[in-house]
Amino acid sequence: MHAMKPSGAGRTHYARSLPALVVLLVLAYLVLVPLGILVISSLTPSGLPFDKGWTLGNYALVYADPEFWSMVWVTLRFAVGSMFWALLLGVGLAWLVERTDLPGKTPIRVLLTLPMAIPPFLLAIGWILLLSPRIGVINVFLRDTLGLEQAPFNIYSVAGMIFVQALSLVPSTFLILSPAFRNMDPSLEEAAMTAGASRYRIFARIFVPLLAPAVLAAATFMLMVGFLVFDIPGTLGMPVNIFVLSSRILYLATDSAGGMSAYHIISTISVFFLVILLIQAWGYQRLTRNASRFVTVTGKNFRPRLSRLGRWKWAALAFVGLYFLLATVVPLAMLAWTSLMPWMMPPSLAAASQASWANHLAFFTDPLTLTALGNSLLIGVVASTAVAAFSVLISWIVVRKRGVSGKLVDFLAFLPIAIPGTMIGVALIYVYLNMPLLNIYGSVWIIAIAYITTYIPFGTRTTNAVLMQLHRELEEAARTSGAGWWRVMRRVVMPLALPAALAVWIWVIAHCMRELSSALLLQGGGNQTLPVVLWNFWVGGEPNKAAAVGIWLVALVFVTMLVWQAAGSRKPRNAQ
Amino acid sequence: MLEVSDLQVHYQTDRGPVEAVKSISLSAQEGEFCTFLGPSGCGKTTTLRCIAGLESPTRGRISIGGLPVYDSKAGVDMSTHKRDLGMVFQSYAIWPHMSVYGNVAFPLEAAGASRQQTRTEVARALDMVGLGSFAERSATQLSGGQQQRVALARAIVRGGKVLLLDEPLSNLDAKLREQMRDELRELQRRLKTTTVFVTHDQDEALAMSDRIVVMNQGTIVEQGTPIDLYQRPQRVFTAQFIGKAEIFACETARPLGAGVAAQTALGPIVATQNTHLGADARNVMIRPESIEIADDFADAANCFDAEVLRCVFVGARIEYRLRLAAGRTVSVSTASGGIRPVGAKVKLHFPPEQCVLLPAD
């Protein structure tokens, strides 16, 4: 044995915590720097973070402004309203599918996830085409046949926003809740029955308390989403000056406010909402963490007790069908119809003779849309690859590293879930407007960075779950076999996390493809994505072109979702 | 070969600090099969993981083959992958995404062996564990016993200086466990690799070890050969943990002929084992299978009246529960033969050469 110079313990410990340190630094750069600069800029007179001087004047200005408080009130009504209706529909559907003898459950499950392929702003556009007071097809039809003075419905309202937002939230609510309904051990109910409890008592004392954590977690998540979304309130509210947080930020940042970007106001508003959103995120994390206290999954194989619907079966099927019609078929059909028309025309046989593929041909020939398609794909591939790889690394640190570094990484990776896309957009403008070395302002890369930050919380939630199930002895066996850190990662951890990374990859690329808010804020000089081009067509008064882009966007997202399904249903090679 | 001195492992939990290993010193000779035996939570696995470098000690020194791999004073803490060892885990930890060949070849790959050398060495290791024809199998298609063999082949393939085995047999069913126990011992004798084996199963420890290190609550209770620890344990804990033991407290002990007469609640018991304890003896221990049952004994010494409370026929043996004077009950295990019914009055004889003196615990 040749004498080996023993390395110092200090150096080795440093080397061992190096991966955690690097990940921590990257996360801090992605998450903390934009947030920090947002806070700083709320305290400068001009609202630009690197300008001289400090002031609290922005806060005085904003809090004294009644418009600010009316925006807060609208945001609150919108968030609570859409959460309430999405939850009501989601709980109902989850119960019907998981706990009753509803026929045709497999196709119904597919039908209930399909609406996810439609970007929310397209759903809103579809509903504008149906329910706008001036051109909405349903409105026009009702007005003409009933001889009304005014259109009966107005989609450009808080109620309209809530209606469309609830429709678009139902699939995620259903997906979050149905495992909780499905995995409830029926013996828990049976035990109550044998203890002599009435049906009502079982519902109140067993069913509700057991499901409460899952429903509460879903509600908190929906509420948070309501506070930070842009798509639907932006599409339906901005034309009539009804603002929520996200749309207000966009409005103030683009020159619609009268030529100047009001960055000082944006930062101040953002700080106010960040506090609210972080509290919600904290609550959500606590709720999902404590949910394991109610372990309803016992690993035993069981069939949940199914309630008999009897004659109500048809009503239930009609309910499911109506939802699918409203959330997918009708708005999509309206979009398809519009995409075939040269200008806005309600569907009729007479109008059908004017139908042409012109708008669709334009989509494939116009350099603008082709560049946007390329941008969207490039951003999607880069961001999803980065998020997938980084999520595996983050989860490895969260799961394997005890102590402060693991907790800190976990916290930082979760934080962006509470940041609205428009806010990330503005923060990145601050960061890269003055960045001398990384001159990416106005390029696709700044959008890619925004998406990486936005989707890390979603990526890590998937990879966390998988890495937690990976027995640590699999890694230790590699280390005792003489493999260093990188070889353990490359040959053992990464191959075993690959199915999860793939799922994350496809999920992120599908979401990058349809994301609108950050891309809108960060657009400039040839980095437009498909949703941005669509939005510009729509806002610029070319709804038929917008509809054609929309149809192809849905097709693109739908195909990635199909791939996801196929990848997910393939049996993963399990770790023992 | 393997030296551990004053090893201590403390760590923080939610419920406060824990001293998993209080202070452990031991050394294993070249080629020795050394077993850490103790109840769960006694620190045996923690000690093993410290030797492997999978866990960080608080202080102490560990050296493998003369090379210090951990020394809190000198600031040495060599990474696991630089320590020259092989390890088999409780869960086997067979990588499901690699073939049997890929699993066994991995340590050679990490060491940068040539393809030709890898092929020969893997074939040799697989032959040794009797899986020569399984190389191309996917690791997930193997039974528990086969996975265990792959794990073993992987641990020995690069000929590390120390082989570490962390309860490798505990996931196997009883029959397979006995078979693997013998194969493992046989393999170790052929390889002559210094081996540390962790188990809570006394039968495994007795059957396989050159030396058993009995551990409890983070310290070494005593160590010795299986025969010594069974027949002449020095501590009450060892007597109770390895095999069954009937223990009688004694107040005084005085020399009597070749042995020592210990004054117990039953009266004097003459013992000839551990007489070096002399007046320090506080207990007398005898194994249930050493106690003799008869209607009467010619010699009255170490004989006691008893009544059969319960008797269980378990095939090869008969297990009795008997009541002695002063309400004390004892277990006696005899070879199969005529059964004494419940309620029968019998005499028990404790042969003095089977009676072991023990200190206070």
Which residues of A are less than 8 Å from B71 in CB distance? 6
Q: Does B79 touch chain A (CB under 8 A)?
A: yes
Nearest to B78 among A6, A10, A573 (CB): A6
Prediction pTM value: 0.83
Report the CATH number that the domain containing residue B167 is assigned in CATH: 3.40.50.300
Cβ distance of A496 and B96 shorter than 8 Å: yes
Residue among A220, A231, A208, A230 at smallest CA distance from A80: A220
Q: What is the pLDDT of residues A428-450, one digit of tens each?
A: 988 888 777 777 888 899 999 99
- Which of B236, B266, B301 is where one domain is finished? B236
Cβ distance of A473 and B106 shorter than 8 Å: no
pLDDT above 50: residue A298: no
More confident call, A65 vs A403: A65
* Rounded Cα distance, A198 and B40, in Å: 46
Please tell me the distance in Å from A487's CA to the nearest CA on chain B.
8
Q: Are residues B274 and B138 in the same domain?
A: no
Please tell me the distance in Å from B82's CA to the nearest CA on chain A.
6
Among A279-293, A344-358, A516-530, A543-557, which stretch is predicted with the lowest mean pLDDT?
A: A279-293
C-alpha of A575 from chain center: 30
Cβ distance of B93 and A476 shorter than 8 Å: yes
Q: Does B68 touch chain A (CB under 8 A)?
A: yes
Q: How many CB pairs under 8 A join A and B?
A: 104
pLDDT values of chain B reduced to their tens digit, one per residue, 361 residues: 899 999 999 987 777 888 899 999 999 999 999 999 999 889 999 999 999 999 889 999 999 998 999 999 998 899 899 899 999 998 888 998 899 999 999 999 998 899 999 999 999 999 988 888 888 888 888 888 889 899 999 999 998 899 999 998 888 888 888 888 898 999 999 999 999 999 999 999 999 999 999 999 999 999 999 999 999 999 999 999 999 999 999 888 788 878 888 888 888 888 889 888 877 889 999 999 999 988 877 777 888 889 999 999 988 899 999 998 878 899 999 987 788 889 888 989 999 889 999 998 7
Q: What is the pLDDT of residues A219-271, one digit of tens each?
A: 999 999 999 999 999 999 999 999 999 998 888 888 655 656 678 888 888 89
Which residues of A are less than 8 Å from B81 in CB distance? 479-484, 487
pLDDT at res. A256: 58
Give the SS3 label for residue A559.
Answer: helix
Terminal Cα-to-Cα distance of chain B (whole angstroms): 32
pLDDT above 60: residue A572: no
Q: Are residues B97 and B65 in the same domain?
A: yes
Which residues of B are less than 8 Å from A471 in CB distance? 91, 93
Q: Are residues B83 and B193 in the same domain?
A: yes
Nearest to B93 among A16, A474, A574 (CB): A474
pLDDT at res. A194: 82
- Which of B217, B236, B255 is where one domain is finished? B236
Quickly count: other Cβ atoms within 10 Å of residue A552's Cβ: 17
* Rounded Cα distance, A492 and B96, in Å: 9
pLDDT at res. A15: 59
Cβ distance of A12 and B110 shorter than 8 Å: no
Nearest to A7 among B67, B78, B96 (CB): B78
pLDDT at res. B254: 83
Q: Are residues B286 and B339 in the same domain?
A: yes
Q: Which residue has the tokens 């669509």?
A: A534
Cβ distance of B106 and A495 shorter than 8 Å: no
Which residues of A are less than 8 Å from B94 in CB distance? 576
Locate the domains of chain A by residue range.
357-576
Cβ distance of B164 and A480 shorter than 8 Å: yes
Mean of all residue pLDDT scores within chain A: 85
Long-range contacts of residues A309-312, Cβ cutoff 8 Å, at least 24 apart: A309/A100, A309/A101, A309/A102
Which residues of B are less than 8 Å from A486 in CB distance? none
Which residues of B are less than 8 Å from A3 in CB distance? 67
A89 backbone dihedrals φ, ψ, rounded to 5°: -65, -45
* Rounded Cα distance, B181 and B187, in Å: 10
Please tell me the distance in Å from A332's CA to the nearest CA on chain B.
43
- Domain range holding B291? 244-358
Residue among B138, B157, B144, B51 at smallest CA distance from B91: B144
Cβ distance of A480 and B90 shorter than 8 Å: no
pLDDT above 50: residue A10: no
Closest residue of chain B to A494, computed from CA coordinates: B97
- Which of B191, B206, B236 is where one domain is finished? B236
Cβ distance of A8 and B68 shorter than 8 Å: no
pLDDT at res. A259: 57
Q: Are residues B103 and B228 in the same domain?
A: yes
More confident call, B193 vs A405: B193
- Residue by residue, DSSP assigns A216-240 as HHHHHHHHHHHHH--HHHHHHHGGG
Cβ distance of B96 and A478 shorter than 8 Å: no
pLDDT at res. A176: 84
Summarize the confidence of residues A205-226 as an average pLDDT: 86
Cβ distance of A9 and B155 shorter than 8 Å: no
Distances (CA, A) of A470 to A207, A411, A576, B13: 33, 21, 8, 23
| Site from A12, A17, A402, A481 to mutate, B interface, most B CB atoms within 10 angstroms | A481
Cβ distance of B96 and A483 shorter than 8 Å: no
Q: Residue B11 corresponds to which tokens in the numbers above?
A: 């760590």
Helix A543-569 to helix A530-539 angle (10° resolution) is 150
Q: Does B116 touch chain A (CB under 8 A)?
A: no
Q: What is the pLDDT of residues A103-156, one digit of tens each?
A: 888 889 888 888 888 999 999 999 999 999 888 888 888 888 888 888 889 999
Nearest to A483 among B74, B81, B155 (CB): B81
| Site from B84, B87, B156 to mutate, A interface, most A CB atoms within 10 angstroms | B87
* Rounded Cα distance, B313 and B357, in Å: 31
In chain A, what's the furthest Cα-to-Cα distance?
100
Q: Are residues B141 and B230 in the same domain?
A: yes
User: How many distinct structural domains can be found in chain B?
Assistant: 2
If residue B256 lies in a helix (H) or strand (E), which one and from where to where?
strand B246-256
* Rounded Cα distance, B284 and B282, in Å: 7
Q: Are residues B20 and B70 in the same domain?
A: yes
Q: Does B61 touch chain A (CB under 8 A)?
A: no
Closest residue of chain A to B158, computed from CA coordinates: A481
Q: Does A474 touch chain B (CB under 8 A)?
A: yes
Which residues of B are less than 8 Å from A489 in CB distance? none
| Site from B45, B54, B80 to mutate, A interface, most A CB atoms within 10 angstroms | B80
Q: Are residues B222 and B249 in the same domain?
A: no
For chain B positions 122-181, those within 8 Å of chain A (CB to CB) are 140, 147, 151, 154-155, 158, 164
Q: Residue B165 corresponds to which tokens in the numbers above?
A: 């085995």
* Rounded Cα distance, A433 and A41, in Å: 13
pLDDT at res. A293: 44
Instruction: State percent of chain A over pLDDT 70.
Output: 91
| Site from A400, A480, A574 to mutate, B interface, most B CB atoms within 10 angstroms | A480
Please tell me the distance in Å from B173's CA to the nearest CA on chain A.
17
Please tell me the distance in Å from A469's CA to the nearest CA on chain B.
13
Q: Are residues B223 and B172 in the same domain?
A: yes
Summarize the confidence of residues A329-337 as an average pLDDT: 93
Most confident of A478-482, A521-525, B253-257, B335-339: A478-482
Tell me, what's the ipTM?
0.84
Report the CATH number that the domain containing residue B277 is assigned in CATH: 2.40.50.140
Nearest to A473 among B79, B86, B93 (CB): B93
Which residues of B are less than 8 Å from A477 in CB distance? 87, 89, 93, 95, 151, 154
Q: Which CATH architecture has domain A357-576?
A: Orthogonal Bundle (1.10)
Q: Are residues B184 and B266 in the same domain?
A: no
pLDDT-based confidence at residue A7 (cuts at 50, 70, 90): very low
Residues 6+ apart with CB under 8 A from A78: A158, A161, A162, A165, A226, A233, A244
Instruction: Quote the strand ranges of B275-344, DSSP E.
Output: 283-286, 292-294, 303-313, 317-323, 329-335
Q: What is the pLDDT of residues A64-85, one digit of tens each?
A: 889 899 999 999 999 999 999 9
Summarize the confidence of residues A88-110 as an average pLDDT: 89
Please tell me the distance in Å from A29's CA to the nearest CA on chain B.
30
Summarize the confidence of residues A77-106 as an average pLDDT: 92
pLDDT above 70: residue A570: no
